[in-house]
Amino acid sequence: MTQDELNKIEKKALEQLTTGKSLFGKDGAFAPLLQNFLDKALEAEMDGHLDHEERSHGNKRNGKGNKKLKTGVGTFDIKTPQDRHSSFEPEIVRSAKPFWLITSPRK
């Protein structure tokens, strides 16, 4: 996510906050922030997975797969990194779970 995109999201969040609109849900400002965070967290997990030992056995990055997340702040697609040996299982969004649920604050 570029700084320009972050500035636009910040502006949208401030507008939603001052007009009383929800920051959560389909059109809320928090979904793209969460998506950006998850993309970076998944890349960091892959970096940790592909340590020296994994690489010495010929394992390396091998593209990305798609996963749809339904959360309390919106639904969006993320790209999960993959490795050649298919041994990478991200902890932050486990593939065995159909959804990664984040709830919005109670009203």
Give the pLDDT of residue 28.
81
**In which domain, by residue range, is 55 found?**
1-13+23-107
Q: Is the pLDDT of residue 86 over 50?
A: yes
Q: Residue 18 falls within a domain, yes or no?
A: no
Global confidence as pTM: 0.73
Q: Is the pLDDT of residue 96 over 70?
A: no
Separation in Å, CA 51 to CA 31, 54, 73: 31, 5, 33
- pLDDT tens per residue across span 12-22: 999 998 999 88
- Total domains, the chain: 1
- pLDDT tens per residue across span 39-84: 899 999 999 999 999 999 999 999 999 888 877 666 778 889 999 9
For residue 10, what are its two tokens? 């910040």
